[in-house]
Structure formats: C-alpha cells, structure tokens
Structure 1
C-alpha cells in the first residue's frame, strides 16, 4: 500500500461489484482495502485506519447499517466518513442510513464517476491535501497540487517525506500525532521503519521551517508525539 495515497475501505460482498469498484478507485489514485462482510469490515476499519469507507447496506454476518452504527460509536473510527451504498431508494431508507451516521448515501445503480466525486468530496473535509487542496497555517502555505511550500512568502525546499509530514500536521492543527500514527500516514503500513526515523524527519522539517527565521511551529508532546501549534 503506497504511503501518502488516501485509503478507501471498500465493504462489498458481491465479487463483480467489488472488482469493478476496486479497479476504478485504484485507477483514480486511491489505495483500496477490501472487506467482504460486516464482521470483517468492523475489524479492518479499526486496524487499517482508512480515510473513507464505502459500505454496502446488504452484507453477510452484520448488516451495513449495523456496521455503520458501531463504527460511529467507536473513538478510533468515529471521524472516518462513511458512504453507504444501497439498492434501497426509498426516502425512509436514506433517512435511516444518514441517521445511523452515514455521511453520504448512494443508490444503486450509480455512476462510477459520481461515486468517485463523492469520495473526493468527503476527503476534502478530512484529508484535503490528498485531493490537491491548498492548506494554510499562520505564514506557512502548502499547495498540494503543485507540491510547493512557502513560509512568509519564501519558497521552502522539502523532500517528499517532509512534505507528507507537514501536510499531515497542517490538515489537523493542534492534533497530537503519535510516532506510530505518523508512520502509518506518512510511510505506509507495508514499510517497516523504526519509530526513531519519525524523530529524524520531524527534526529535518523543523530545520527547513526555521531556515529563514520564524518560530518553531512544531510542538513535541512528551510521551505522546508531535503536534502543529
């Protein structure tokens, strides 16, 4: 799984539908995690920390609506956007899906292009740098589309790892990220990197951000990790 790519958990028990959606999501630049029933979805969502969940209503073992309800009550997954996919088109079903906690509701049959647009719309809220948005914090500006960072109008030269680290911090200013969370988000789960590597790269990022003067915007939280601001 590539580091930096937004991760979509696709929960679909129908193989043809799962393959079609998975292919299109990968082609659109997403890293896809698969689950084929409700029980697996609940486990994988907690283990893999996806950025968005595409959740079919009709699933074996545990229904999509129950999966949605449980994920929205858990601290680890509460903030992950869920797009419910269902053949149920009645207003009462849409309302039930949204009231259970789904962030969006898509009725089958749907257009793949529209579904991808809805995934990107949810990411714009939760992980804006992944969809090319421009982020700003104080005098630091990060343009994800052009891969350019400036501070007080001066261009800064960041390596790809430092760029992804800064984007992660700027998406959620004030949030304390543990070293393990930064490893998952910036390096990816499939790559073994020592947690001390995080300290090295945070040190490099600090040095670059302060190269032309200005305060150190990164905060070390003893025993917990790092935060912006």
Structure 2
C-alpha cells in the first residue's frame, strides 16, 4: 500500500510542478488572475512532498473545482479492498488488519472479499448463489458489497425508468434534480422537461404495476426542483 501511495503522490507532484512552472511564467507577465491558483498549487506541492494526498489538502469544494482540470489522482476518494481466502488463515487476517489500520488512518472504507468464492459464485444460478452464500454465513457477495461501498463513497444513487415493460437503471449523484436526471437519458429530455411522475420502487413492487399504482394514488407529479431519491421510478414528461 505504501509503495502504491508513494507512486501516486509522485505522479501528482509531477503534474503540479509542471503547472506551477507554467503559472509562474504567466504571473511574471502580469497575468494577476493566476496568483490565487499559484498559491493553491504551492500548498498542494508542499503537502505532496510531505506525503499528504491532495484530497486532504483540498478539503473545500472550491479548491476541488478549481483544480479539477488537473485530474490529480490523490484528490480522488479511496476505497480499500482486502482480498483473502474463505479459510481466513492467520497470515491473511494479519494482512487484512494492516489494510484496515491504513484505511482507518485515512478515514476510508474497507471491503473484504473472498476472491475464490466470488469466482465460484459467478458460475451459479440465482438460487444456488443464495444457498452458497448462506452456507458461508454471508448476506451478499463481495462484489455486491464492493459496488455498494463504491456508491456510498461517491455519493451515487440509482433511479429507474420503465419503457415497454423494461425496467432500466440510471446512476446519478445525490442531490440531482429531476431535469438533470432526465438529461442523463437524453439531452432533449432535459431541455424540454415538463414534469416527472415519480413512484418509489418499494411502492411499485407492492402495487404490482404502474397502472395499479396510479389507481392507488402512489404516483406523484414533481416539478423542476424535485431532488431524485434512491430507488425512484420516474416517467419524464417533456416537449421536443
């Protein structure tokens, strides 16, 4: 882990150094608008030289947005994965504990997966998968746990649309409003957005169909300010 983190720090340091050289030339030519960025870049450079990743230095949204174009690797959130066997040997548990300690120091999440089991699960049918997981005392596969942890880390949610009896899933960031969500499907839907007809997935399952849900008054009509929720099933109304 230390070797990988060091390589990532060095890669970002190279990017920052090149940018500083360019900005310093511009400021010497009288381009005053770059002075604030230069100050921030030097702050990051100092941190990287001391082994501090950019994500810990750029703690505010403004700083992250200003330097987003640099695509610094160490500015990204981190998720650690401990891949061990289902036997959980003492040596493997020792490695896993080390990963957990490193993650805790960074305040990063950790997911433990059993690589061999995951490979076997991929070859099983749905019912067999459930029995297999129960046999090992697992509620879900490691892959499912990894996806969920990744979603939480990146603040992602899923909403659904139904087209010709086909349920499709779409991923957006928490806080996304209805028109923006429509734009994920097609830009014309965002431009011509009128309203969103929304029902939560659990209500839809209980009703059994959109038609029954509509009869029961479970579908809400929402406007432009509606914030999409995880598990929403949405029908977008729009003009072309």
Same fold (TM over 0.5): no
Specify the structure having the higher radius of gyration (Cα): 2
- TM-score scaled by structure 1? 0.32
Specify which structure has the higher proportion of helix. 2
